[in-house]
Amino acid sequence: MSLKAAPLRLTAGLGMIGLIILACGVGPWLLRPLPGMDPARAALLPPGSRVTVVQCRNGAVYMSPRVEKGARAIAVLGPGNRRIEIETAQIARVFPHRYWLGSDRFGRDLLRESLSGGRISLAVASLALAIALVIGGGIGLAAATSGTLVDTLLMRLVDAFLAFPILFLLILAVALFRPGPSTLVVVLGLTSWMGLARLVRGQVLSLRQRDFVQAARVAGSPWWRIWELHYAPNLVGPVAQDAALRLGDLVLAEATLSYLGLGIPPSTPTWGSLVAEGHKVLLQGWWLATFPGIAIAVLVIALALVGDGLQDLVRSAR
């Protein structure tokens, strides 16, 4: 039963991920960026709101729900609903803007923020995964192919890292060092490679006992040939499956840390920090926490589907 569903789940998951990447990658380019914003100029507008943006030559920006155009001046509603008149000669640009998903407290467009935030969330998780793959894969292979002594030492190292209370370590590291994307990538990468190391080592050791590998060795195939033909193809499946699920965990970890204020500062929005901002104003602006939260859930679910699909494929290949 699970076999038939496998390609379906895999395709669905991959399709969802593709859409998310496409939207996050292209979306921010397509949506017009709003000019440099002063907080509270257009704070917390509900989804669907329309405003008129008035950009002045001296750099000031006003976003006003209503604009009165006169002969020589334009009147807008400024901070605190004060009426402000701007001379036409002072104005650089006037254009309408629609907040499809509403705005945050800086008057930023939540749709655009969510898409560019997703870019950062995805990038952080993927780079951290890359670090984990390199370290985990490297140590796993080294342990499996070296002598007993090196193997034991490396596996004790894995144990030590596993014995670190990971969540504590994450919080500590980010609380103590400067928060930001690069810190987050390094910390997340350095704390999530142990499972991969164990997986790779286990796979290699078990493959070595298998008939086809033994046969190839006896036949005198060069080591790189055996790797290419037998080890690599049989490693890819389980590692990819593990990686997909791990990537989902990393997305959640990034979101959680940003939520706690330990990840990326709110000046650079990510899904996690957007949800955190949204929680503060849950009653006044439900949309702020809702949409990025759904985005996280959809991505993690897509990754889980891919992981499941891959697992089924691996299973059927056996």
Partner 1 sequence: MVRMKRSTILVAGMLLAFAAGCGHPPGSVEKPGSAAAPGRGGTVVIGALSGINNWNPYLNETALGDDVLSLLYPTLAIEQVDYRAHPPSFTPNLASSWEFSPDHLTLTFHLRSSARWSDGTPVTSADVLFSYRTRISPEIGWESESLKKKIRSVDAPDAHTVRFHYTHRYPYQLMDANDGPIIPAHAWGSIPYAAWDRQDWRALALSAGPFELSSATPQQQFVLKRNPLYWKKGRPFLDRLIWRIVPDQGNLLTQLRTGEIDFMQGIPPRQAGQLRGDPHVRLIHFPDRSYGYIGWNTRRPLFRDPRVRRALTLALDRRTILDTVMRGYGRLAVGPVLSTMWAFDSRLVPYPYDPARARTLLAAAGWTDTDGDGILDRRGKRLAFELMTNAGNEIREDICQMAASQLARIGIKVSVRFIEWGTMLSRLEHGDFDAYISAWREGTQVDPAPLWHSAPPGAPTYNYVGYSNPEVDRLIDQLAATETAEAQKPLLDRFQEIVHRDQPYTFLYEGQRLDGINRRIRGAVINDATAYFNVDEWTVSSSRR
Partner 2 sequence: MARLILRRILLAIPLLWLVVTLTFVAVHAVPGTVADLIDNPQLSPQARAHIEQRFGLDRPVSVQYVRWLEALAHGDLGVSFLYRQPVSRVVLRALPPTLLLTGTALALDLILGILLAVIAVARPRSWFDRVSTVLSLGLYGMPSFWLAGLAILVFAVILGWLPASHMHSVSAIGASGGARFADLLRHLVLPAGVLGVVGAAGTARYLRSTLLDIQDARFLLAARARGLSRRRVLLVHALRPALLPLVTLLGLAIPFLVSGSLVIEVIFAWPGIGRVLWTAAWARDVPVILAVTLLGATAVIAGNLVADVLYILVDPRARSPR
> Which of partner 2, partner 1, none does residue 59 bind to, with CB < 5 to 8 Å depending on kind?
partner 1
Distances (CA, A) of 148 to 95, 143, 153, 213: 70, 8, 9, 21
Question: Which residue number, 1 or 89, has a Cβ lying nearer to partner 2?
Answer: 1
Q: Is 267 a residue that touches partner 1 (CB under 8 A)?
A: yes
| Structure tokens belonging to residue 47 | 């989804």
Determine the Cα angle at 112 with ends 92 and 17, to 5°: 150
Cβ–Cβ < 8 Å for 270, 253: no
Closest CA to 125 of 303, 290, 305, 289: 303
Closest CA to 64 of 87, 89, 83, 39: 83
Q: How far is the CB of 201 from partner 1 (least distance, A)?
A: 38
> Which of partner 2, partner 1, none does residue 217 bind to, with CB < 5 to 8 Å depending on kind?
none
> Which of partner 1, partner 2, none does residue 222 bind to, with CB < 5 to 8 Å depending on kind?
none
E-assigned strand segments in the chain: 49-56, 61-64, 67-69, 73-77, 83-87, 91-99
Q: How far is the CB of 38 from partner 1 (least distance, A)?
A: 5
Q: Which stretch binds partner 1 (CB under 8 A): 158-166, 170-178, 200-208, 287-295?
A: 170-178
> Which of partner 1, partner 2, none does residue 36 bind to, with CB < 5 to 8 Å depending on kind?
partner 1
Q: Is 169 a residue that touches partner 1 (CB under 8 A)?
A: no
Which stretches of 146-165 are DSSP H helices? Answer: 148-163
Query: Can you give the binding site for partner 2, defined by CB under 8 A?
Result: 1-2, 156, 159-160, 162-165, 167-169, 171-173, 175-177, 248, 252, 255-256, 259-260, 272, 275-276, 278-279, 282-283, 289, 293, 296-301, 304-305, 308, 311, 315
> Which of partner 2, partner 1, none does residue 265 bind to, with CB < 5 to 8 Å depending on kind?
partner 1
HSE-CB of 151 using CA atoms within 13 angstroms? 12
The residue count of the chain comes to: 318
Q: How far is the CB of 257 from partner 1 (least distance, A)?
A: 13
The residues binding partner 1 (CB under 8 A) are: 36-41, 58-60, 79-80, 105-106, 175-179, 261, 265-267, 279-284
